[in-house]
Chains A and B, each alone.
Chain A
Amino acid sequence: MEKFVQLHGLVAPLDRANVDTDAIIPKQFLKSIKRSGFGPNLFDAWRYKNHGEPGMDNSTRPLNPDFVLNQPRYKGAQILVARENFGCGSSREHAPWALMDFGFRAVIAPSYADIFFNNCFKNGLLPIVLAAREVDQLFAEVAVTPGYALRIDLPAQTVTTPGRASFKFAIDEFRKHCMVNGLDEIGLTLRHADKIRAYEAQRQVREPWVFT
């Protein structure tokens, strides 16, 4: 997994609540058996004026000029600012894959759906929770500030605005440790292989039907 320590990145705002993973990456692109290549179809139904299918040349498709990510000032954005319950719905990990493939490294929102939130950490995409009024402030500032960029410091757990306002965010120690070091979670878990085997042995006695 890609490490995440510090990031100074351009911000794009997505001002709607309850953005679901069907919107982030529509179902027709879930037929891929790869982890990469989803970026051109991120927010496909909102981003393009025509219907997208796998295998299309996305560079020739008509763009929806009203969709925020199509505005030139947000080109190259690495931080997405969003509203509450971001990533609700389907468990598809293709959603964080698509966000990462597009170039995002962090999302900032007042809240997330649980499965999406969890999936982000497995891929080096940092989902930051800030208070609703702090997110409101970011939306207000980015709207009036071309080139608006934020500085994210994961070890310090801070988001700093160009005006030097600094917002602290919370994160589980274990997740932070894995993100900062880019650790392979399976490798970490397998350090406990003996414990897993011991657990299985006692469960087999207690609930043998689970193991047949």
Chain B
Amino acid sequence: MAIHKSSTRSTVILLAIVIVLASAAPSILRAFADEPGAGTIQISTTGAGPREVEETTQKAIERQYTAAWKNMTAALKDNRADLLDAAFVGSMRDQLARRIEQQKKSGTSTRYADGAHQVNVVFYSPEGTALELRDTTEIEQQTLDGSKVIHSEKVRQQYLVIFTLVEDRWKVRIMQALPTS
């Protein structure tokens, strides 16, 4: 009799949990849908100037900026400067290559995990060969010595990024973290 009573109670509790979860599911799913996923880059061109950003340029920048983060993350994790050429050029490429060289010498590496990016185009040059973005993102950065994690931190960071058109591709020439106000 006691066993029967207990199993009935468990069934009722289980049913209650299922009902609560089922009723909450739409809101949970909506919340996830509204929240941009990790590494997603949304570019807004509102307020960009003096030239209006063409739709094809906006798509190209989204693609190249996504690639830049992906390549930078992989290059700093595995200490591979060869991964930089596809998305970086000039002083930014040199800067990352120098850091990788130093990491290699000291046996260290850096792991980045970037969250969603909120990107605004703040400048697009009149002749259409240079573009500046302001990106706000949350990044998790880990400093490793060999496989040992020395330091781990999560920060909200703002970057100024300058893209220039190199041959037929947009590449990052400057990517500078801004002091938090």
> Do A and B share a complex?
no
Contact residues of B with A, CB < 8 Å?
none
